[in-house]
Structure 1
């Protein structure tokens, strides 16, 4: 797709990419670039890849929707796209708790920027965007998305814990401490076979691979505010 001049000015990021090669952080969540300008999309992807981020590029909203079912991370998109607009795409995915939306556009109206921010976008950048600003904004978005993902995971763990029976809940702190079934049975005055069966049930319901994993999940739950309070 032909690019606007401000997009082409964003394409020359090779020197910045070389400076960042030596200090690239490891990625945790992906970055999706939805932009009809090949120059902007490819150069931004190369720059973020040099920083250690996993990047996927798409030339339209429909291409993105066709390939990404449950997006988490950062969605960097233009307002003006072939077919479905960037604002329309935002409306479709904004409910994802661990997805941060950032707009980068050179031909948008003020009303577009206001609509994007009102709908929950983290930022609205005007092209041409300096490489440093682009990287900083995307990485701030990734930090926000990662924090939201941790909260969502902890809430899912809490729902799983609440699905346990009272007897199974009694076992959780003991299992999380690494106590063996025989020791737990003696402490709770239960048959060892009963404890073993309940242990299997607890790990299954909590989707825990081990007692160590169970302990980690309980730590996540402990970091959540009580029910009824904002996270």
Structure 2
């Protein structure tokens, strides 16, 4: 799956791709999902800065746009953060509202099951060549795939379904190092492998594990040889 970066000559079409994916995913769900995603789309289309990945809007303004009270705004923004669709880039303080950013990759991964409802052309366009950052760096030697049980086993099944190629190359070789005090340790077969996963995939691993087990607060990547 290509990572959408809504800048450059094709920025307009990429923005429509993101909004189309969100719309199809919303329509395929229940009314609660539809309402939540519609509200996020309203924020994106009215106040989101695509180039800077910034959404700056106070709770009172959001409540007015959504035609709800501020309690509902707090609840739904928390739900969106829990999904990983938005993240706090700058916490709000007195006189300054919170700045949010979108995790577009997370949104596209979550909405992928609804892409066929849009059409084969949409799928083909977004499943084109992998982004350069993923193609230039490959593991020196593909690690042996490790079977896992428990929480990490469930996470592996989830991640393999999201992106099989990425999973085979980088995630399948990680071993379960145990969960202690909310920190999940994963063991990589080499220092290079550990560094790559820590740099490029840590956020995705954290999000997946937290979705499966809310007690997970951190993920640590270590090399087996340490």
TM-score (normalizing by structure 1)? 0.27
TM-score (normalizing by structure 2)? 0.27
User: Over alpha carbons, which structure has the higher Rg?
Assistant: 1
